[in-house]
Amino acid sequence: MDIERFKKQIDFVLEIDKEKEIYRQTHISDYKRQENDAEHAWHMAIMIYLLREYANEKFDVTKAMMMALIHDIVEIDAGDTYAYDTEGLKTRAEREKKAADRIFSMLPEEQCDELKLLFNEFEEGKSPEAKFARVMDNFQPLLLNDLNGGKDWQKHKVRKEQVVARQNKSRPGSQEIWEYTMRLIEENVQKGNIKND
């Protein structure tokens, strides 16, 4: 065993435990508390595996699951940026790049490079794996919001055009899931959970 290499890997493993303390705006299904980033990533990874048949194109499931598991690690430093926070979104990419550089560089060089490539591929959203992982990144909080009666949408006075714009980014990854989300959005507009434009 290369002790120095192993120590770097363990230091990274312990550092990413901090992801459990990054709370998102989305609440868990019973609305008792906000979901944390690690729970979101785990949920996405399972969804990628279970819902893979709805992808627009074939993709490497393991690679997409790994993208889901690492995509929000950067929020340990950068913080969670709410999907509808227009000001926060302006600086998110810069904050997350700086965080990726610091956190992934804790690993041995080739693992650092590998995870950075996966992270950047997810952010670019062009590969089949990234497209489908991003579908889950959009779909998972939408499902929780729908399940808890739209309380998070109501709290933030979210408008239909905002939710549709976010979910439209899912269409390249899954036409079928996108169609389903459009129905859920309409239902929540009708219920008054999402403000109609």
- Dump pLDDT digits (tens) for 73-95: 999 999 888 888 788 778 988 99
Cα distances (angstroms) measured from residue 66 to each of 46, 72, 87, 167:
11, 11, 29, 22
- The mean of the pLDDT values for the chain is 95
**What is the pTM assigned to this prediction?**
0.95
Closest CA to 172 of 121, 119, 123, 126: 126
Look at residue 49 in the predicted model and tell me its pLDDT: 98
Intervals of the chain under pLDDT 70: none
